[in-house]
Amino acid sequence: MDQFTINLIFVGASFAIYIGIAIWARAGSTAEFYAAGRGVNPVINGMATAADWMSAASFISMAGLIAFVGYNNSSFLMGWTGGYVLMALLLAPYLRKFGKFTVPEFIGDRFYSSTARVVAVICLLVISITYVIGQMTGAGVAFSRFLEVENATGLYIASAVVFIYAVLGGMKGITYTQVAQYCVLIIAYTIPAVFISLQLTGNPIPGLGLFSTHQETGQYLLTTLDGIVTDLGFAQYTAGTSYLNMALFTLSLMIGTAGLPHVIIRFFTVPRVADARWSAGWALVFIALLYLTAPAVGAMARLNIMDQFWPDGVQGEAVSVETIETDPEYDWMANWIQTGLLGYEDLNGDGRIQYYNDQNPDMQALAAERGWQGNELTNFNRDILVLANPEIANLPPWVIGLIAAGGLAAALSTAAGLLLAISSAVSHDLIKTLIRPDISEKGELLWARVSMAGAIVLATWLGLNPPGFAAQVVALAFGLAAATLFPVLMMGIFSKKMNSAGAIAGMLTGLIVTLAYLFTYLGILFIPGTNLLENVPANYLLGISPLAFGPIGALLNFGVAVLVSRSSAEPPIEVQALVESIRVPRGAGTATSH
Amino acid sequence: MAERTTNLKGKTPERAAEDGAGYWKANIRIITISLIIWALVSFGFGILLRPLLAGIEVGGTDLGFWFAQQGSILVFLALIFFYAWRMNRLDRQYGVEEE
């Protein structure tokens, strides 16, 4: 059986399971559609949250970004886990006690203002759609590889599948499907990592293998890797460069996590306040299983790639074009070249492919001496690394099929959760509450589905030319969440005096300033070529990269909110009483909707 | 913080308000301590204080690298579970747990 058939079987079987569950648990009422009737156990909820959370960015993209950059991209690891601490301590229990269905609903009630609610809906839509672009990017990569088509075709297929899938079920379908997806994605991520860790270090636990001895050289794995990459002119794997950007970027991802509407919505679905606290912990347990493995996947993949291009070591000869074309060990290259995400070119015509850092001045001298005329691995899309990893390590075909299924599970589960957040914001917060309160349940569900479809079309169109690799696009969504929703949610709980004018001004400031900063460097609406300044560090304000801007937006949001709130009337006494009541767990009933 | 072993149900409104303030103050204290640890292991050991830990070797690199890639995640987990356990106990001490 060929690889294509095996991929189809694995992906097909996993899809059959998800769709089966979605049909079995089809949402009947609007309450079920949004929040699964609140009957979800904290461990199960934690697992579903983990699947919801770990998207194409975590599964497909993150290890690749770590692999090619090293220590500096540890931001993704700390940022996307540390946010759960903020979530568990600062938001989850109180939002559960408040007991409504959506984030804009909380903001509208707490700040006693429909305007605040509408502004929250706008923030939510901007965040979620940016996030969906990242998912589409990742899902497109996965589909293009396993169906062996061009990247853009993969993207269209991905959007069709997401559409059918998300429109079928609401949260209840999604909760149990997401448990199944978690199982698929964690198995798919772990198995190849275990194989590779055994091959390289003899240690079956990848997270420990990362800090173990590399069997071939007898040195530590990281020491070996540092040696090879620096010999080729790349930055040392374990060394850091810009500590300011790294700290800000990490903070952006952390605050953003705690401000992401589709994750917050999860904590509305647990039965009790105490469960909301435990749920965040369980979610992080399931997330950590992947996140402790990811840095090992990154480092080991980088080592394997170096080894493929420099089979005789970096002082020896590079791999020959003939070997790449004929040796089955290099089949993965041909497979990925047809997606358009990988490419090589024998620039100096010596029949060999030299992969090195041609931007490094010291390396240029050495290259001239050895007759190299530039880096010949001309294209290596970071998003292919995790999916290509089992092929690069020559693992059995079923492992490769498994990772295709896992990558798609990760992209689909998150896309579905995001679309749910988008659709509930439009149908519930905009249409039902503000525009047409007399709308029937059926009409509300229809609007929910129409808004999902609209969001997918927009995200697919923008996903054709994404403003970065999947994890970077997703990181932009986090920056926006950090700058808009997190500060007002937190002030809504921790400050009784924060009023509607302050919250609205804060959210708008955070949203507008952050979007302006992103669009300046990445293009208006992320459309390539419309950027005002080139996206290079020399142009950045105080050296802060667009990816790391979230905390600055959040700071402005906090500052403006406090200033405006101090200079306008205090919130009404019943709102202050509401804040008192959400601070204690007692009296948390089942959630209501108005 | 004021540890209360008795479960104060059926209290007067004044007593309840005073208790509410005490409960919230205790909560803020636990949050503050937890967040200091949260920041120390990630922004501290993992990033800004990494040069200070450069002398401590871990598997071919230094302790700061380990904190950045794995250690901080393990501490985050411990923090969330500690907070859930501690707060559920605090709820009962102040008699504000869910029925």
Q: For A170, left (φ over 0), alpha (ψ -120 to 50), or beta? A: beta
Average pLDDT over residues A91-116: 90
Determine the Cα–Cα distance for residues A179 and A44; give it in Å rounded to an integer: 7
Average pLDDT over residues A561-567: 96
**Bridge pairing between strands A352-353 and A342-343:** unpaired
**Residue A384 pairs with which residues in a beta bridge?**
none
CA distances to A38, A95, A106, A171 from A590, rounded to whole Å, are: 8, 12, 15, 17
Q: What is the pTM of this model?
A: 0.90
Provide the token pair at A498.
Answer: 């924060």
Residue A134 half-sphere exposure toward CB, CA atoms < 13 A: 30
A586 and B77 within 8 Å at the Cβ level: the answer is no
- Sign of the alpha-carbon dihedral angle for A536, A538, A541, A545: positive
Percentage of chain B beyond pLDDT 70 is: 82
pLDDT band of A407, cuts 50, 70, 90:
confident
Under DSSP, is residue B48 helix (H, G, I), strand (E, B) or coil?
Answer: helix
A281 and B97 within 8 Å at the Cβ level: the answer is no
pLDDT band of B15, cuts 50, 70, 90:
low
Determine the Cα–Cα distance for residues A418 and A130; give it in Å rounded to an integer: 10
Weakest-pLDDT range from A68-82, A332-346, A465-479, A510-524: A465-479
Determine the Cα–Cα distance for residues B49 and B44; give it in Å rounded to an integer: 5
Q: In terms of C-beta density within 10 A (0-12 exposed, 13-18 middle, 19 or more buried), how is residue A528 classed?
A: exposed
A71 and B65 within 8 Å at the Cβ level: the answer is yes
CA distances to A13, A15, A138, A365, A369 from A233, rounded to whole Å, are: 44, 44, 29, 11, 14
CB neighbours of A31 closer than 8 A, spacing ≥ 6?
Answer: A37, A101, A593
CA distances to A53, A553, B7 from A509, rounded to whole Å, are: 27, 8, 45
Under DSSP, is residue A40 helix (H, G, I), strand (E, B) or coil?
Answer: coil
Q: Which of B27, B77, B99 sits opposite A281 (nearest CB)?
A: B77
A219 and B35 within 8 Å at the Cβ level: the answer is no
Average pLDDT over residues A466-495: 90
DSSP-assigned letters across all residues of B52-93: GGTTSEETTEEHHHHIIIIIHHHHHHHHHHHHHHHHHHHHHH
Query: In this predicted structure, what is the pLDDT of residue A441?
Result: 81
pLDDT tens readout for residues A504-520: 999 999 999 999 999 99
Question: Which of A272-276, A414-418, A516-520 has the highest average model confidence (pLDDT)?
Answer: A516-520
> Looking at this protein, which amino acid is placed at residue A191?
I
Query: In this predicted structure, what is the pLDDT of residue A102?
Result: 83
Determine the Cα–Cα distance for residues B95 and B89; give it in Å rounded to an integer: 10
Query: In this predicted structure, what is the pLDDT of residue B14?
Result: 61
Query: In this predicted structure, what is the pLDDT of residue B63?
Result: 94
Percentage of chain A beyond pLDDT 70 is: 95
Query: In this predicted structure, what is the pLDDT of residue B3?
Result: 42
CB neighbours of A341 closer than 8 A, spacing ≥ 6?
Answer: A141, A144, A151, A379, A381, A383, A384
Q: Which of A85, A277, A588 sits opposite B38 (nearest CB)?
A: A85
In A373-421 the beta strands, taken as DSSP E runs, fall at 379-380
Percentage of chain A beyond pLDDT 90 is: 45
Angle between helices A485-494 and A103-110 (to 10 degrees): 50
Looking up tokens 């969504």 gives A477
Query: In this predicted structure, what is the pLDDT of residue A32?
Result: 53
Q: Is the distance from CB of A103 to CB of A120 less than 8 angstroms?
A: yes
Which of A20 and A559 is assigned the larger pLDDT?
A: A559
Taking contacts as CB-CB distances below 8 angstroms, the residues of chain A near B60 are 211, 219-224, 226, 238
CA dihedral A25, A28, A34, A40 (to 10 degrees): -50
* Closest CA relative to residue A453, chosen from A107, A160, A87: A160
Determine the Cα–Cα distance for residues A424 and A400; give it in Å rounded to an integer: 36
Determine the Cα–Cα distance for residues B26 and B30; give it in Å rounded to an integer: 6
pLDDT band of A180, cuts 50, 70, 90:
confident
Weakest-pLDDT range from A226-235, A293-302, A368-377, A431-440: A431-440
pLDDT band of A228, cuts 50, 70, 90:
very high
Weakest-pLDDT range from A260-264, A365-369, A486-490, B17-21: B17-21
What residue of B is the nearest CA neighbor of A577?
Answer: B17
Residues of B with CB under 8 A from a CB of A: 20, 23-24, 27, 31, 34-35, 38, 42-43, 46-48, 50, 58-62, 65-66, 68-70, 72-74, 76-77, 79-81, 83-84, 87-88, 91, 94-99
pLDDT band of A522, cuts 50, 70, 90:
confident
Taking contacts as CB-CB distances below 8 angstroms, the residues of chain A near B62 are 238
Determine the Cα–Cα distance for residues A199 and A216; give it in Å rounded to an integer: 10
Name the minimum distance, in Å, from the CA of B7 to any CA of chain A: 13
* Closest CA relative to residue A462, chosen from A163, A127, A253, A155: A155
A404, pLDDT greater than 90: no
CB neighbours of B79 closer than 8 A, spacing ≥ 6?
Answer: A85, B34, B37, B38
Give the length of chain A: 594
Taking contacts as CB-CB distances below 8 angstroms, the residues of chain A near B31 are 89-90
Q: Which of A82, A224, A295 sits opposite B76 (nearest CB)?
A: A82
Name the minimum distance, in Å, from the CA of A178 to any CA of chain B: 22
Which of B28 and A142 is assigned the larger pLDDT?
A: B28
Q: Is the distance from CB of B16 to CB of A581 less than 8 angstroms?
A: no
Average pLDDT over residues A32-37: 49
Q: Is the distance from CB of A80 to CB of A291 less than 8 angstroms?
A: yes
Where are the alpha helices (H) located in A87-146, listed in sequence order? 92-98, 103-110, 114-146
> Looking at this protein, which amino acid is placed at residue A194?
V
Determine the Cα–Cα distance for residues A296 and B69; give it in Å rounded to an integer: 9
Under DSSP, is residue A213 helix (H, G, I), strand (E, B) or coil?
Answer: strand
Q: Is the distance from CB of B47 to CB of B72 less than 8 angstroms?
A: no
Determine the Cα–Cα distance for residues A549 and A568; give it in Å rounded to an integer: 29
Average pLDDT score over chain A: 88
Q: Which of A211, A284, A288 sits opposite B60 (nearest CB)?
A: A211
Q: For A219, left (φ over 0), alpha (ψ -120 to 50), or beta? A: beta
What residue of B is the nearest CA neighbor of A79?
Answer: B42
Instruction: State the best of B38, B52, B70 to mutate against chain A, taking most chain A CBs within 10 Å.
Output: B70
A222 and B61 within 8 Å at the Cβ level: the answer is yes
Residue A286 half-sphere exposure toward CB, CA atoms < 13 A: 27
Q: For A204, left (φ over 0), alpha (ψ -120 to 50), or beta? A: alpha
What residue of B is the nearest CA neighbor of A278?
Answer: B84
